Amino acid sequence: MAGMFAIILTLVTFFTGILWFLEKFKWRPARQRKVEEVRKQTDGKIDGKILAQVGSPKSWVDSLASFFPVLFVVFVIRSFIFEPFQIPSGSMMETLLIGDFIAVQKYSYGIKDPITNTTIIPTGTPKRGDIAVFKDPRNPSVDFVKRVVGTPGDKIIYNPENKELTIYPACLSDDNNCQGQQSIPLNLDYTDIEVSGWNEVFSNSGANFYTDKQYAELDLPSNNSVVSFSLNKRQETLGEEKHEILLLPILSFGLNEMYKQPGQKPGEWVVPERSYFMMGDNRDNSDDSRFWGFVPEKNFVGKVSAIWISFEKQPNEWPTGIRFNRIGTVH
């Protein structure tokens, strides 16, 4: 189901649209005919102010109907072309940062009913490497943004110790064959691990991320209530574009903490038909398919295409500046 804003926008657009059409094609012509009748009955000698009162619409009707053209444009753009989203967490760092406002291309994965999210006109499907917004399968009222790692039929293996992916494309779950041929894992072209320039600070209020410069200016308590780590990074290739992933320098979880697919070993998954395996680029700070399973194709909202504004901020805090250098396309 759509979010509450989408439902309200649809209903308000529909209601004002009805008023606009009634005013334009029924009520206004009726008032004009009435004005002509009054003018004829008085041989044109009636006061113009009286005629204006006869021909004027009810103020509330005129006000509501006047909103329809603007609402209709907003409705069409938001429902079928682009929808804005804000990044509230660091799960997609460094690709997307907290405070980024993104434009999501709604038509990439089909023209959909804005209320039920049912595909009306198919236009494409998610591709490996896409950054996509989708409805959380556990709670469809919540929107997530992650990267498409596995497409239908892929076998995904994640090793939490070396934090590397292995992907066998279009594999069958029983014998690892790929469309009748021996499957060869994708070359994800991992680069060497290096320091990222980002620091993660854990406290009672949660986890925050700071650049080296910001971290140096922090006044952290000397007790054990705060723990911090310098994050590592490396490049990974999914699809046509390289992207950087962030990694904690410690083992953050084990195989027993990840989603166990029936018939598969821990840490291994075969993506079902019309489903996808999603992961965040901040690999140790992402609530994704490794922990709760697959995303049905029907849950996808659209493909992230651009950052249109970016604010310097931490979760649940006011912005402290604008990052103009981040405005542009996203890979």
- For residues 139-148, average pLDDT: 95
pLDDT grade for 46, boundaries at 50, 70 and 90: low
Place of tokens 């049912």: 118
Question: What CATH architecture applies to the domain 144-329?
Answer: Beta Complex (2.170)
pTM of the model: 0.85
Pick the catalytic residue from 146, 163, 233, 303. Answer: 146
Listed range (42-56, 133-147, 155-169, 291-305) with the worst mean pLDDT: 42-56
Confidence band, pLDDT 50/70/90 cuts, at residue 1 = very low
Q: How many CB atoms lie within 10 A of CB 156?
A: 23
Is-catalytic flag, 303?
Answer: no
> Taking the CB of residue 265, how many other CB atoms lie within 10 A of it?
10
Q: Spell out the domain ranges in the chain.
A: 4-83, 144-329
Give which of 245, 232, 233 is closest to 147, Cα–Cα.
Answer: 245
Q: Return contacts of 190-195, CB within 8 angstroms, 24+ apart.
A: 190/164, 190/234, 190/235, 190/236, 191/234, 191/235, 192/234, 193/232, 193/233, 193/234, 193/247, 194/232, 194/233, 194/234, 195/230, 195/232, 195/233
Give catalytic status of residue 49 as yes or no. no
pLDDT in tens, 174-192: 454 454 445 789 999 999 9
Q: How many CA atoms lie within 13 A of 21 on its CB side?
A: 6
Q: Which of 89, 91, 108, 183 is catalytic?
A: 91
Q: Evaluate if residue 110 carries a pLDDT over 50.
A: yes
In this structure, are residues 171 and 183 in contact, taking their beta carbons and an 8 Å threshold? yes
Contacts of 289 (CB under 8 A, 6+ apart): 146, 149, 150, 259, 269, 276, 277, 278, 279, 295
Collapsed DSSP state (helix, strand, coil) of residue 11: helix
Q: For residues 173 and 301, what is the distance between their CA atoms, to the nearest angstrom?
A: 28
